[in-house]
Amino acid sequence: MYPAFRQINAGPRELTNFADTQKQKTVSLEVNNVTKYYGKQAALKDVSFLVKRGEVTGFLGPNGAGKSTMMKIITCYLPPSSGNVKVAGHDIYEESIAVRRKVGYLPENNPLYPEMYIREYLHFAAGIYRIKNRKQRVEEIIDTVGLTPEMHKRISALSKGYRQRVGLAQALIHDPEVLILDEPTSGLDPNQLEDIRNLIKAIGKEKTVLLSTHIMQEVEAICDRAIIIKSGEIVADSPIEKFKNASDREIFILHTDAQLDMKKLKAVKGVLAVTKTGTGRYRISALSGAGVGPSLTALAAAENCTVQELRKEEQRLEDVFKSLTR
Ligand code: ADP
Ligand code: MG
């Protein structure tokens, strides 16, 4: 209750426990050196990462990279061949029941019982977790995931977007600390996609989320951080912002009211290449951090041109992803 006080008075053994307790408060998911073989094929090779409490992390990789395998291991659906996972401080081997209580899981392709009614299905899901006040909890979760307008329907009568909401409701019914979502937006139309992304973002304010996808924009739209996996190995793990700045080049878009001399543009310090894209329009590739912007403005002024637009193009995360997973 008073951690600082406890620490002062604790013996060496209690100190270790204290450190563990502190870790539990800040780390929701701990993956340590996980390897998984299917027969002779290694689907995961010595994978390790931590997800902090409250963090929304994208687990990104091409098809067959090992995303679903990792998620099945975290949720106790598959044992790893070696290595270990802890969810909210609970070990998947020794405390699998506790892990299941702490984790909500929306599997790939969202398997549901189409002949069941929404409420009936969610009551059933609540029953699995032995939730008290089941009726009240089902109503609450229907509201949380925005199922209210469709709540009297059979699952088979729902659009794909609403089915995903049922899947999310099922994953959230026991109020887990950690939410594992395996390609939650695959197969949705653009409107449904936006709705579900917004819903996940809202949920992400309260929970630790690990979300798999093979779409970079998805991670950009929803996540704080991305872990990129390729052929069972992690190839990158950074905050989204860092990916954007990962390149040693930046692109400037320059638009002036008259033509500039291409030779002079190319001679600006830090400029690597210039492409003319229209009258007075240029796409300029430059060394990152070379401070090319002010030099371009100065050049335009010296040439008696007015700058109508000068901006740095955001690096396309898609390109970063491609270069890392190719
Ligand atoms: P992802 O979800 O990133 O597309 P998966 O985890 O589903 O990747 O698969 C990783 C690799 O393991 C793939 O090569 C896949 O074919 C293989 N794999 C997945 N599940 C099985 C299984 N049950 N038996 C054999 N191989 C499997
Ligand atoms: Mg998968």
* Range(s) of the domain holding residue 275: 249-325
**pLDDT tens-digit map of 198-220:** 999 999 999 999 999 988 888 98
Domain end residue (candidates: 244, 279, 306): 244
**What pLDDT is stored for residue 72 in this prediction?**
98
Q: What is the pLDDT of residue 4?
A: 39
Percent of the chain with pLDDT over 90: 75
Are 150 and 213 contained in the same domain?
A: yes
Rounded to whole angstroms, the Cα distance separating 295 from 289 reads 13
Residue 211 shares a structural domain with residue 283: no
Q: Which of 69, 70, 81, 182 to mutate to test the pocket of ligand 1 (most atoms within 8 A of CB)?
A: 69
Contact 323, 253 (CB under 8 A): no
Query: Does residue 156 share a domain with residue 63?
Result: yes
Q: Assess whether 232 and 258 both reside in one domain.
A: no
- 45-49, 68-72, 95-99, 315-319: segment of lowest average pLDDT: 315-319
Q: Give the ligand with the smallest distance to the CA of 233.
A: 1
Kindly state the tokens that stand for 294. 């002010």
What is the Å distance from ligand 1's center to 211 Cα?
17
**87: domain CATH number?**
3.40.50.300
Nearest atom of ligand 1 to the alpha carbon of 232: 10
pLDDT category of residue 11 using cuts at 50, 70 and 90: very low
Per-residue pLDDT averaged across 155-183, rounded?
A: 96
pLDDT attached to residue 284: 95
Nearest ligand to the C-alpha atom of residue 65: 1
User: What pLDDT was estimated at residue 247?
Assistant: 67
pLDDT at 115 over 60: yes
Q: What is the pLDDT of residue 250?
A: 82
* Domain end point (choices 199, 221, 244): 244
pLDDT of residue 242: 81
pLDDT of residue 49: 97
For the chain, give the mean pLDDT. Answer: 89
170, 260: one domain: no
pLDDT of 142 > 80? The answer is yes
* Residue 213 and residue 306 in one domain: no
pTM: 0.79
Residue 3 banded pLDDT, cuts 50, 70, 90:
very low
Query: Which residue among 36, 41, 60, 235 is best mutated to probe the pocket of ligand 1, counting the most ligand atoms within 8 A of its Cβ?
Result: 41
What integer pLDDT is reported at residue 149 of this predicted model?
94
Whether 240 and 262 map to the same domain: the answer is: no
* pLDDT over 90 at 248, yes or no: no
Listed range (2-6, 11-15, 65-69, 96-100) with the worst mean pLDDT: 2-6
One domain, residues 66 and 125? yes
Query: What's the mean pLDDT in 83-88?
Result: 97
Residues with CB under 6 Å of ligand 1 are: 38, 43, 61, 63-69
pLDDT tens track for 258-306: 999 999 999 999 999 999 999 999 999 998 888 899 999 999 999 999 9
Q: Residues 149, 260: one domain? A: no
Burial of 288 (0-12, 13-18, 19+ CB in 10 A): middle
Are 232 and 309 in a shared domain? Answer: no
| Percent of residues, the chain, with pLDDT higher than 70 | 90
Helices (H), the chain: 3-9, 12-26, 67-74, 96-102, 118-128, 134-144, 160-172, 190-204, 216-222, 240-244, 262-267, 292-302, 317-325
Q: Kindly write down the DSSP assignment for every residue of 140-187, as one continuous string.
A: HHHHHTT-GGGTTSBGGGS-HHHHHHHHHHHHHTT--SEEEEESTTTT
Q: How many domains does the chain have?
A: 2
How does residue 240 score in pLDDT terms, banded at 50, 70 and 90?
confident
pLDDT value at position 322? 76
Domain termination residue (choose one: 244, 279, 301) = 244
Rounded mean pLDDT of 151-158? 96
pLDDT for the residue 326:
75
Strand, helix or coil for residue 97: helix
Residues 203 and 89 in one domain: yes
Q: Answer yes or no: do 11 and 105 share one domain.
A: yes
Q: What integer pLDDT is reported at residue 18 of this predicted model? A: 64
Look up the CATH number of the domain holding residue 266. 3.30.70.1560
Q: If pLDDT is split at 50, 70 and 90, which confidence band does 246 have?
A: low
39-51 pLDDT, tens digit per residue, is: 999 999 999 999 9
Q: Is the dihedral of CA 115, 117, 118, 121 positive or negative?
A: negative
